[in-house]
Amino acid sequence: MSPPWREALQSADHSIPLGFMLVFSLLHRALINSGFVLARSWRSTDLKVMLLMVFLITVWTTITLFSAAKFWNSSNAKFVQKAITVPWMAQIFVVFWLIDRISVCWYAEARRTSESTHGFWKLECPNGPFGWTKSLHPVYRRTLFATIALVVIPFNATAIYYGEFVSGMLNMTGLFLFSSSAFSLNSYAKARHICDGEMLRVALGTSHLEGTMYILPSRKAGFEAVWSPKIPAEHDGADTEIMPLFGLMRTGIWPHTEPLRRLRNAMSLYNRRAELSQRQVIDLAEWLQLEPTSVIAQLPLRAKRPVGVHLIGRDLMYALCHAEYLVFMNKTKLPLRLQRNLGTLREMKRSGGSDGGDSSSAVGFAGGITGYQDAVKYVYALFSEPMDAQALTPDMEPPPYSATLQARPESSIDYVDKLWTVCIQHTESTFSALYMFCCIVFIEVGNTAGFHIFPLRCQSSQGDVVTWQIVWRQGWYECILAQMVASSPLLAAAFAAAVI
């Protein structure tokens, strides 16, 4: 007599696929609603969900194979009937994903610093975070689809021969849809993306679907530049505030208060997506305040700087503004010794967060060329980089007429002196003043004399593990949809009606 649990499994042939697909559908909806946590550790939502999918698919495969095993020697027709309910596409996909995961982690450092192909993955994302097939090594990609076809086609051809026409054709259809990428693009890029304190990705303004992300330093890694597909949820501040600011400044007619207003809005949007522990806030504050005991300050810079380009650039200042803003907004997590030093980089007399007792000026707020040079020296000390003479005393051709100054500068020094004074009058922190300064210099003079809009570049365009997980989402999305079509006529009808 068979145990009850075995009989239950054997009688649940149709409910098992539907049950697992219901779980996958609920997971999909949960991700859309709650979003993703981007992290280097096990806090990563992508990693947790993908490992959960690995477990669920493996359990599904095990259950259906166990059910089919009973008929291995007794009935070929029954065995095939049961075997075609195994999620072959999803299970083979899981194996190849796991191999690629190991490969990406193993070659992480080599890929970060080299454009050469290492392992089975080379990031290709000119169309956004959906190019998982183009990013896979061609041989590896063909092997994946060939392996799936070699398993699915013989099983289902045999099933059709034994009369299981509907199930066999649905499996064939699912294979065709998956191999031809016939499914829609996933909507996960529009879901909320939360930055963990060790993965504080600052999205830089771009009109392209890929570009550089600056990652603020943590105990895991120093300041880093990483190539990444554009994620709308991450670029909300850059797209809605910063890009329009650039367009307005190019007209030459803009209020001097506009850069700070736009910058504040962008940083406020970012602050809602950043989750920092008390330790992470303290680490960031110690780094920004040049504390001798800072752990972050000892970590190497994970980016490259072109020859002739100094650190004073627009997008780097934009990232530093975010770092200072995060510390300021989380000041209650700081010990008193660090709270007292918030005025080092922020003009507390202009801040609603001040207790009214701080009358000192932030670095650079002395005004004129001296104030500018103080701010430049601070940035170089922050990154432990040797000083560039061009950054300290810019030798550039001033504009024939400065729309910002409403005057014709007499020299490069005169231009910097007067422009810096305007910037500190309309900003509230050292980095926001430098950001406004760099924006104006780029608009009125361009990338010249060592100034460049983004001075720190990626060491390679292959991204990192977080980027890998983001791009693989489309692969999982297509695979699960294909398996849903293959597993049930009801689900296939839902796909045909554009419900899934």
The span from the CA of 311 to the CA of 309, in Å, is 7
More confident residue, 358 or 105: 105
Q: What is the pLDDT of residue 170?
A: 86
User: Is the Cβ–Cβ distance between 64 and 487 less than 8 Å?
Assistant: no
Is it the case that residue 282 has pLDDT exceeding 90?
Answer: yes
Give this prediction's pTM. Answer: 0.91
| Residue pLDDT, tens place only, 218-229 | 999 999 999 999
The span from the CA of 241 to the CA of 205, in Å, is 9
Is it the case that residue 57 has pLDDT exceeding 70?
Answer: yes
| Residue pLDDT, tens place only, 403-448 | 999 999 999 999 999 999 999 999 999 999 999 999 999 999 999 9
More confident residue, 102 or 4: 102
Rounded percentage of the chain residues whose pLDDT exceeds 70: 90
DSSP 70-87: TTTTT-HHHHHHHHTTS-
Return the top range by mean pLDDT from 81-85, 134-138, 485-489.
Answer: 134-138
The span from the CA of 131 to the CA of 74, in Å, is 46
| Residue pLDDT, tens place only, 207-255 | 999 999 999 999 999 999 999 999 999 999 999 999 999 999 999 899 9
Band (494; pLDDT cuts 50, 70, 90): low
The span from the CA of 267 to the CA of 285, in Å, is 17
Q: What is the pLDDT of residue 73?
A: 62
| Residue pLDDT, tens place only, 370-379 | 999 999 999 9
Band (355; pLDDT cuts 50, 70, 90): low
Q: Give strand pairing partners of 196.
A: 275
Q: Interior CA angle at 31 toward 120 and 214, to 5°? A: 60
Q: What is the pLDDT of residue 41?
A: 84
C-alpha distances in Å from residue 8, one per residue of 14, 23, 85, 487, 497? 12, 20, 16, 19, 33
Averaged pLDDT of the chain: 89
Of the listed ranges 36-45, 70-79, 197-206, 334-343, the one predicted with least confidence = 70-79
Band (13; pLDDT cuts 50, 70, 90): low
Band (163; pLDDT cuts 50, 70, 90): confident
More confident residue, 145 or 494: 145
Q: What is the pLDDT of residue 2?
A: 54
Q: What is the pLDDT of residue 9?
A: 47
Q: What is the pLDDT of residue 352?
A: 63
Q: What is the pLDDT of residue 312?
A: 97
- Domain assignments of the chain as residue spans, ordered by start: 4-190+465-496, 193-444
3-state SS assignment for residue 226: strand
Of the listed ranges 72-76, 111-115, 118-122, 270-274, the one predicted with least confidence = 72-76
The span from the CA of 235 to the CA of 416, in Å, is 31
Band (5; pLDDT cuts 50, 70, 90): very low
C-alpha distances in Å from residue 432, one per residue of 77, 208, 317? 73, 25, 7
Question: In the predicted model, what is the mean pLDDT of residues 332-345?
Answer: 94
Question: In the predicted model, what is the mean pLDDT of residues 38-46?
Answer: 92
User: Is the Cβ–Cβ distance between 319 and 329 less than 8 Å?
Assistant: no
Q: What is the pLDDT of residue 71?
A: 66
Of the listed ranges 127-141, 145-159, 260-274, 355-369, the one predicted with least confidence = 355-369
What are the b/e assignments for 428-454, b being 16+ CB within 10 Å?
Answer: bbbbbbbbbbbbbbbbbbeeebbbbbb
3-state SS assignment for residue 325: helix
Question: In the predicted model, what is the mean pLDDT of residues 184-198?
Answer: 94
Cβ neighbours of 254 (radius 10 Å): 17
Is it the case that residue 473 has pLDDT exceeding 80?
Answer: yes
Q: What is the pLDDT of residue 337?
A: 93
The span from the CA of 226 to the CA of 470, in Å, is 13
